[in-house]
Structure 1
Amino acid sequence: MSITSPQGPVRRALIVHAHPEPDSFSSAQAAAAADQLRAQGVDLRLVDLHAEGWDPVLAREQFLDGPGYFKPQAEQLHAAAGGTLADPVRTQLDQLQEADLLVLSFPLWWFSMPAIMKGWVDRVFVMGATFGGEHGIFADGGMRHKKAMLLLTTGGSSASFAPGATDGYGDLDTFLFHIHRGMLEFVGYDVLPPVVTYGPARLTEAGRAAAIDRVRAQVAATVGA
């Protein structure tokens, strides 16, 4: 069985999760999304960056043994072409390329993703594999014909992120633009609407349970169940 969305079937999915607390609502949300995808017959991989001790730093030592000018994207391009990417990046990239759907799960910190997840993007969105080299960018990116979605929590209420709010933070889509356009669409993904729980810390137990139910329903609907 596979899920069919307007852009095509989802047979394999990758959830990359970034929250340091396994009992957080963000972590519960990721688990609920994973359960929903599995229930719909999707072959799922879940990467918990904190649990796996992911190193977010893209460093010269990962490519060069000695001195020399270090240009990260050029080294990525060379390693991708030569098949010399080392683990854990090689394994993460393989899982990324196999997945029809990428879900990035995280709490919105400073109107962006946590540093550990940005470091995952820095290291795994390899030039020469996800863009560049034989690939282009945007419609010609290496991840074209695949889908991506954000699964996130916020500290503020939905009203504080509403377009035109005069006493809030501003339109959430504005804060997500650099991720949607600058990361996901840049490498070719079709970006699906984000799944958001606003202010879970302010919800009652019943409210959090209802929010988890909404996550399940939105994940199912978003990927075309």
Structure 2
Amino acid sequence: MTTTPSPTPTPTVLWLSAHPEPRSLTASLRVSGIAHLRAAGHEVIESDLYAMGWDPVLRGEGISAQGERFDPTADVRRALVEGRLPEDVRREQAKLTAANALVVQFPLWWYGLPAILKGWMDRVLVSGFAFGTDPRTGRRLRFEDGPFRGKRVLTALTLGDRPRAIGPRGKSGQLEELLFGLLHGTFAYTGMDVLPPFAVPSADRVDEEAFTRAQAALHVRLDGLLTDPALPYRPQFRGDYTEEWELAPHVRPGEEGLSVHLVHEEERDPSHAL
């Protein structure tokens, strides 16, 4: 008897973007990137925050009891459990739940996220959904035990800095360290596999030729969205950190800085240290 193999599920990608101008470089790369993913057989869910008119402000109205002090963690978690979160938030949480991978795309403004994108994270990535406590074990849900384990995320950004300004000796800092709060403190914290970021520097000087190069480079990164190696951030609960969330004395002794929170090659393969 011949059995027919089950069809491979179509990967679903959530493309989350934030730029106010639909004719911008960011928007052009978004349109091209989504078309490329769909041509490769992916299902793409879109959240174009400016086009959606997304409200970025986390408020207590309708969540906390009238006249009571608003607790942005406990009250929002209670509203989540009771099904009282605003409909726009629930729609975005459903998109994120359905996705195998995310592309988070934005222009870097003042070395941070556009306010509308930060507000998406404030309102969507709430306690009980993106982090919190496992009711069965009591363990906090974060990093390797985060609720979004298995989801992959690629950050794609444009910025005004020149290419070498975001290098190891650049004035703006190495890109992965510049984005450490987002890559490690948001994405890895919630359990995602975080890919090295994709960036288009000197974005305000991009001509047609430079756009073609940037588009091709983005397509290459999208081709590896589900297969490229993730940044090897250290797990929290496997002995690398103390109970005070500080790197344990036996790990990279004498070293400091953000790079110590990555597992180095010689740690993965001790023969490299010989």
Q: 1:192 aligns with which of 183, 191, 195?
A: 195
Give the equivalent residue in structure 2 for 1:53.
Answer: 53
More strand as a share of residues: 1
Give the equivalent residue in structure 2 for 1:143.
Answer: 148
2:57 and 2:100 map into 1 onto residues whose CA distance is 26
SS in 2 for 1:187: coil
1:92 and 1:143 map into 2 onto residues whose CA distance is 14
Maintained 8 Å contact 1:10/1:223: no
Matched residues, percent identical? 35
1:136 and 1:223 map into 2 onto residues whose CA distance is 23
Give the equivalent residue in structure 1 for 2:254.
Answer: none
1:203 and 1:128 map into 2 onto residues whose CA distance is 42
Structure with bigger gyration radius? 2
1:130 and 1:10 map into 2 onto residues whose CA distance is 24
Give the equivalent residue in structure 1 for 2:37.
Answer: 37
1:10 and 1:146, CA in 2 relative to 1: closer, same or farther beyond 3 A? farther
Maintained 8 Å contact 2:64/2:71: no
1:177 and 1:129 map into 2 onto residues whose CA distance is 22
More helix as a share of residues: 1
CA displacement at 1:145 relative to structure 2: 1.4
Matched, 1:163 2:168: yes
2:191 and 2:141 map into 1 onto residues whose CA distance is 9
2:84 and 2:123 map into 1 onto residues whose CA distance is 14
Q: 2:158 aligns with which of 153, 161, 168?
A: 153
Amino acid at match of 1:128: G
Which digits, 9 at most, give the CA deviation of each residue in 1:91-146, with x for residues without a partner? 00011111010111000111111111000000000210111143611111111111
Aligned pairs, how many?
217
Amino acid at match of 1:142: P
TM-score (norm 2): 0.75
1:103 and 1:97 map into 2 onto residues whose CA distance is 14
Tell me which moved more, 195-204 or 42-51: 195-204
2:133 and 2:79 map into 1 onto residues whose CA distance is 11
Which digits, 9 at most, give the CA deviation of each residue in 1:8-67, with x for residues without a partner? x87111011000001100111122221121111111111110011111110111413511
Alignment RMSD (CA, Å): 1.8
2:205 and 2:131 map into 1 onto residues whose CA distance is 41
CA displacement at 1:151 relative to structure 2: 0.8
| Higher RCO (CA-CA < 8 Å; seq separation 6+) | 1
Query: Gapped runs of 5+ residues in structure 2?
Result: 1-6, 135-139, 229-274
Amino acid at match of 1:159: R
Q: 1:173 aligns with which of 171, 176, 182?
A: 176
Give the equivalent residue in structure 2 for 1:88.
Answer: 88
1:184 and 1:35 map into 2 onto residues whose CA distance is 25
2:62 and 2:218 map into 1 onto residues whose CA distance is 37
Maintained 8 Å contact 1:193/1:222: no
Amino acid at match of 1:222: L
CA displacement at 1:84 relative to structure 2: 2.2
Which digits, 9 at most, give the CA deviation of each residue in 1:163-214, with x for residues without a partner? 113xx32212221000001111111111011111111221221111221121
Give the equivalent residue in structure 2 for 1:6.
Answer: none
Give the equivalent residue in structure 2 for 1:5.
Answer: none
